[in-house]
Chain A
Amino acid sequence: MFERFTRDARVAVEQAQTVARRLGADHIGSEHVLLGTVAHGDAVAHRALARVGVEPATLERAVRAQSTDTLDAEALAGLGIDLDAVREQVEATFGAGALDAPAPGGRRGHLPFDADAKKLLEVSLREALRLKHRRIDTGHLLLAAARLDTAGSGRALLAAGVDRDAVERAVQATWADAA
């Protein structure tokens, strides 16, 4: 399916791998594809989000906040667990940073795409077909990211304050400008 992807869209999908690794994930989720998609300043997705006032950094914060793999010191404190005390004890045995290393001895090589990330790529193709576009660019990827509103990508966009309709309008306007 990648033969229909523009260069920017291919770069975005590759970038998802880098993003996932940086965030300490052991797979590529739809939210990592979303962050890869908006990373490049010239790409349609980045410009579309800029139109509605959403910076990539804002999205990344939203993604981090919804990560299921974050140690929430406040929630743990609510249980009477002092995360700093736990960390200190763990580091005494396992070395500095042991508790906060995302995946100790984690995966090497390529991270796999999870079901939502694959779905996002499929939906981007469907969006292109629906709009009768021959190529898939980062705008289609962003539309797909917003359509998956129960997946990480859609939830991150909603948390950043943009819903499906707002994303669609912004992408359409960006395409219209470029035409």
Chain B
Amino acid sequence: MSSELLTAAAGDDPAEGLRAVRSLRVLADRLEALHVERARRLGWPWQHIADALGVTRQAVHKKYGKRYP
């Protein structure tokens, strides 16, 4: 997908490019939530999830701590 991704995300129409970026973000957020929930159910500590996502433990806990305690 990389060449097409570059075409749309770096295309000359800002509206198209921004819409594409927004959709990617929504998709990434949904996938992240699903995987975090599953990891928590499998007993993963927040630190492991944070490491896998490349963010701090605080960041991931703040975002999901209430939802998937």
Contact = CB atoms under 8 A, between A and B. Distances in A.
Interface string B1-24: 101110011000000100110111
Interface in B10-69: 16, 19-20, 22-24, 26-27, 30-31, 33-34, 37-38, 67-68
Main SS at interface, chain B: helix
Interface string A103-129: 111110000000000000000000000
A105 B4 contact: no
B22 A72 contact: yes
Contacts of A176: none
A159 to B, nearest CB: 15
A86 interface: yes
Contact of B4 (A80, A83, A93): A80
In the complex, which range does the number of interface residues on chain A fall in?
Answer: 20 to 34
Contact of B34 (A69, A75, A76, A94): A94
B9 A90 contact: no
Contacts of A105: 37, 67-68
Given A75-B19, A75-B22, A98 B8 contact: no
* A-side interface mostly: loop
Contacts of A80: 1, 3-5, 8
A14 to B, nearest CB: 24
Given A94-B38, A99-B30, A103-B33, A76 B23 contact: yes
A104 B26 contact: no
Contact of A69 (B8, B20, B26): B26
A57 B24 CA distance: 28
A78 B8 CA distance: 6
B34 A98 contact: yes
Given A71-B26, A103-B67, A105-B37, 6 more contacts: A76-B20, A78-B20, A79-B8, A79-B20, A81-B1, A94-B34
Interface of A: 68-72, 75-76, 78-81, 83, 86, 90, 93-94, 98-99, 103-107
